[in-house]
């Protein structure tokens, strides 16, 4: 099929759009009086396919000599050069903007039709959110930039006659918890179906559902629907539920339009009485919140780990490390696997027990010494890192990934296989087991080696203490998911 041009508008300015089937590209240029000048060569700007969030049909009509025409609104992200902040040594995505194109798609085979089939949205658009919650400290601190340049324009484009949702910005570690308890819970208990856009990493989701579970819920309770715009470091839940994918630069906007509400199933982690939550780079501690039976309890949706993974998350949770985004884990791993004093990686002392799927008996795993113990309810811990390729989020099924005390080079080999599509689960040194329960009884004297990670939150268990994890226990929220 030959290339063709169609008229339209880009952000309400007249434009010409150019579909080229051979190069499979869509480009635009602004329409000016120069188009009528003989020999004029327009300057085309290509719309990158991975930047397209949605194609929304506005009208369908007969076109002259070409059959049906689809008049559509296309939302895409246009990114200008990043700005490098030398003071913080990070790259900030200034200049990213959600743009609105109104154009015609020819209703026959070709690149235009392929775009419609991949990104077309039929029916009603997502309801306007009731709230937008921004976690300003997540990741490399781009939540506010993403909100102002992407989320806010998109809401305005599709809901121009609706009052803009209330925007809640975090000011401290308790902000999300307070918002969930004081704002979401009372309305959910009255049976109101709330829609929340959450700009956060994995920790924001954790804080929301733990706050909702800490209070009584009425018989009329309606689970809030959370649309995640992931701006954290690892964004494990977003990658695992395909809210963002390897070639998607829309920060989850595509999933907001095309995804489906899915109940987020949670695991329950209970602790011995002396467990403490660690924060502020290890400077602050507090007791783990207790459930209605007075048992220290944290709910999770992603991961519970002890050993190498928990140490990497805890040791890299500093302002300096966070400036490096997801690379913070690799940087911390180098010191953990190859200590500067030349010693081998730490061998974690304790007893690990699992209850497999469809079993009612615990079985001991390992011989009282461990290198890596991780129970995962997701497939990916970060982009490309397929820790549990057989996982099925957000259904709450869990798999144990474990290996014993090994040298740093062997551990690095295993981790590289996880980046190669999850091939580590086929390694003879790795145990990969579907589980219903996990129990760890800690044998370490030094508190540094008794730290566990629950969805990025670090908990230090007292000497001689324990943790027990039960998969697929409850659900109090839904998320917009692409699987």
Task: Please name the CATH architecture into which domain 131-264 falls.
Answer: 3-Layer(aba) Sandwich (3.40)
pLDDT attached to residue 261: 94
More confident residue, 284 or 71: 284
For the chain, what is the mean pLDDT?
88
- The three state secondary structure string of the chain is CCCEEEEEEECCEEEEEEEECCCCEEEEEECCHHHHCCCCCCCCEEECHHHEEEEEEEEEEEECCCEEEEEEEEEEEECCCCEEECCCCEEECCCCEEEEEEEEEECCCCHHHHHHHHHEECCCCCCCCCEEEECCCCCCCCHHHHHHHHHHHHHHHHCCCCCCCEEEECCCCCHHHHHHHHHHHHHHHCCCCCEEEEEECHHHHHHHHHHHHCCCCCCCCCCCEEEEEECCCCCHHHHHCCCCCCCCCCCCHHHHHHCEEEECCEEEEEECCCCEEEECCCCEEEECCECCCCCEEEEECCEEEEEHHHHHHHHCCCHHHHCCCCHHHHHHHHHHHCCCCCCCCCCEEEEEEEEECCCCCCEEECCCEECEEEEECCCCCECCECCCCCCCCCCCCEEEEEECCCCHHHHHHHHHHHCCCCHHHHCCCCEEEEEEEEEEEECCCCHHHHEEEECCEEEECCCCCEEEEEEEEECCCEEEECC
Task: Answer whether residue 10 shows pLDDT above 70.
Answer: yes
Least confident of 35-39, 71-75, 343-347: 71-75
Token pair listed for 204: 């924001």
Nearest one of 440, 454, 438, 399 to 422, comparing CA atoms: 399
Q: What share of the chain in percent tops pLDDT 90?
A: 58
Least confident of 25-34, 76-85, 317-326, 406-415: 76-85
| pLDDT tens, residue by residue, 409-434 | 999 999 999 999 999 999 999 999 99
Task: Answer whether residue 370 shows pLDDT above 60.
Answer: yes
More confident residue, 454 or 94: 454
* Sequence ranges of the domains in the chain: 4-121, 131-264, 267-473
pLDDT attached to residue 283: 84
Mean pLDDT of 25-44: 89
| pLDDT tens, residue by residue, 269-281 | 999 999 999 987 7
Task: Answer whether residue 85 shows pLDDT above 60.
Answer: no
Least confident of 195-199, 234-238, 248-252: 248-252
| pLDDT tens, residue by residue, 243-255 | 998 667 788 888 8
CATH number of 267-473: 2.60.200.40
Burial class (CB in 10 A: 0-12, 13-18, 19+), 445: exposed
Q: Which of 47-56, 122-131, 452-461 is modeled with the greatest confidence?
A: 452-461
Q: Do the Cβ atoms of 61 and 42 come closer than 8 Å?
A: no
pLDDT attached to residue 329: 72
Read off the pLDDT band of 326 (50, 70, 90).
Answer: low
Q: How far from the centroid of its chain's Cα atoms is residue 320's Cα? A: 22
Dihedral sign (CA 126, 129, 133, 134): positive
Read off the pLDDT band of 138 (50, 70, 90).
Answer: confident
d(CA 78, CA 135): 24
- Beta bridge pairs of residue 401: 374, 432
Read off the pLDDT band of 70 (50, 70, 90).
Answer: low
């Amino acid at each position: 099929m030959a290339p063709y041009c169609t008229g339209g508008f880009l952000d309400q300015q007249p434009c010409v759009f150019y579909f080229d089937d051979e190069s499979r590209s869509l480009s635009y240029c602004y329409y000016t009086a120069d188009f009528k000048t003989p020999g004029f060569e327009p300057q085309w700007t290509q719309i990158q396919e991975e930047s397209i969030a949605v194609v929304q049909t506005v009208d369908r009509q007969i076109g002259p000599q070409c059959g049906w025409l689809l008049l559509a609104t296309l939302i895409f992200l246009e990114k200008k050069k990043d700005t490098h902040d030398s003071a913080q040594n990070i790259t900030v995505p200034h200049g990213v903007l959600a743009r609105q194109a109104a154009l015609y798609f020819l209703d026959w085979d070709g690149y235009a039709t392929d775009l419609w089939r991949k990104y077309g949205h039929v029916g009603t658009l997502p309801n306007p959110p009731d709230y937008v919650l921004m976690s300003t400290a997540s990741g490399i601190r781009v939540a506010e930039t993403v909100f102002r340049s992407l989320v806010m324009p998109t809401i305005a484009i599709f809901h121009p006659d609706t009052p803009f949702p209330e925007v809640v910005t975090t000011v401290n570690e308790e902000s999300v918890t307070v918002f969930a308890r004081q704002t979401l819970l009372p309305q959910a208990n009255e049976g109101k179906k709330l829609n929340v856009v959450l700009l956060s990493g994995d920790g924001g989701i954790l804080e929301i559902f733990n706050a909702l579970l800490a209070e009584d819920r009425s018989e009329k309770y309606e689970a809030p629907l959370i649309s995640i715009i992931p701006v954290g470091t690892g964004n494990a839940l977003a990658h695992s539920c395909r809210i963002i994918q390897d070639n998607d630069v829309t920060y989850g906007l595509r999933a907001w339009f095309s995804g489906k509400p899915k109940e987020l199933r949670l695991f329950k982690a209970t602790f011995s009485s002396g467990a403490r939550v660690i924060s502020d780079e290890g400077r602050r501690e507090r007791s783990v919140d207790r459930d209605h039976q007075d048992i220290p309890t944290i709910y999770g949706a992603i991961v519970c780990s002890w050993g190498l993974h928990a140490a990497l998350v805890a040791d890299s949770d500093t302002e300096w490390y966070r400036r490096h985004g997801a690379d913070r884990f690799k940087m911390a791993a180098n010191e953990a696997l190859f200590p500067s004093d030349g010693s081998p990686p730490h061998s974690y002392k304790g007893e690990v027990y699992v209850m497999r799927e469809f079993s009612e008996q615990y079985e001991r795993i390992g011989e009282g010494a461990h290198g890596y113990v991780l129970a995962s309810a997701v497939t990916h811990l970060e982009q490309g890192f397929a820790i549990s390729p057989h996982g099925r989020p957000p259904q709450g099924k869990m798999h144990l990934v474990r290996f014993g005390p090994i040298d740093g080079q062997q551990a690095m080999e295993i981790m590289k296989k996880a980046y190669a599509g999850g091939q580590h689960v086929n390694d003879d040194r790795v145990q990969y087991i579907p589980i219903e329960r996990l129990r760890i009884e800690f044998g370490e004297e030094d508190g540094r080696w008794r730290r566990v990670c629950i969805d990025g939150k670090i908990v230090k268990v007292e000497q001689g203490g324990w943790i027990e994890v039960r998969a697929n226990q409850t659900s109090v929220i839904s998320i917009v998911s692409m699987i």
